Amino acid sequence: MLQTTIRDLLDGAVDVTGYQLYVVKDGEAVLYVGQSIDAAKRLRGHISSRVHSYGSLLGKAIYENKPRSEEWVVELYAVDECSDLIKEWFPRAFIASEEATRYAEDALTHQFNPLYNRATNMGHGVTGSPFTQRKKREKEEAHRQWEIQLAEKREYLVNSVCDVCGEHDKWVDFDDMLPCGVLENHHGFKLLCNNCDRVITLMKELERQSDRVRKVEKALAALANA
Q: Which one, of 77, 41, 81, 76, lies nearest residue 59 by Cα? A: 41
Strand 181-185 relative to strand 21-26, pairing: unpaired
Q: Is the pLDDT of residue 204 over 70?
A: yes
Per-residue pLDDT reduced to its tens digit, 37-82: 999 999 999 998 876 767 889 999 999 999 999 999 999 999 999 9
**pLDDT score at 145:** 92
| pLDDT tens digits, one per residue of 210-222 | 888 888 888 888 8
Helix H segments across 49-129? 57-64, 83-89, 100-112
Gap between the Cα atoms of 6 and 82, Å rounded: 22
What is the C-alpha to C-alpha distance for residues 179 and 168, in angstroms, rounded to an integer?
A: 11
Query: How many angstroms separate the CA atoms of 187 and 173, rounded?
Result: 25
**Buried b / exposed e across 18-48, counting CB within 10 Å, b at 16+?**
ebbbbbbbbeeebbbbbbbeebbebbeebbe
pLDDT at 186 over 50: no
The pLDDT value recorded for residue 173 is: 46
Tell me, what's the pLDDT at 201? 82
C-alpha closest to that of 55 among 101, 100, 129, 118: 118
Tell me what percent of the residues of the chain surpass a pLDDT of 90.
46
* Whether residue 190 has pLDDT greater than 70: no
Task: Say if residue 10's pLDDT is above 60.
Answer: yes
pLDDT of residue 19: 96
When pLDDT is averaged across residues 174-180 and rounded to a whole number, the result is 47
CA distances in angstroms from 192 to 16, 55, 169, 170, 204, listed in the order given: 58, 34, 11, 9, 15
Residue that wins the pLDDT comparison between 179 and 154 = 154
Query: pLDDT category, 175, cuts 50, 70, 90?
Result: very low
Beta strands in the chain (DSSP E): 2-5, 21-26, 29-35, 73-77, 181-185, 188-192
> What length is written for the chain?
226
* Three-state DSSP state, 179: strand
User: What's the pLDDT at 197?
Assistant: 74
Predicted local confidence at residue 181, as pLDDT: 54
| Mean pLDDT, residues 124-142 taken together | 86
More confident residue, 96 or 107: 107
Per-residue pLDDT band at 202 (split at 50, 70, 90): confident
What is the structure's pLDDT at 125? 67
pLDDT at 35 exceeding the cut of 60: yes
Q: Which burial class, exposed, middle or buried, applies to 62 when counting CB atoms under 10 A from its CB (0-12, 13-18, 19+)?
A: buried
How open is the CA angle 33-37-39, to the nearest 5 degrees? 55
Q: Which of 120-134, 177-191, 201-215 has the highest mean pLDDT?
A: 201-215
* Residue 183 pLDDT class (50, 70, 90 cuts): low
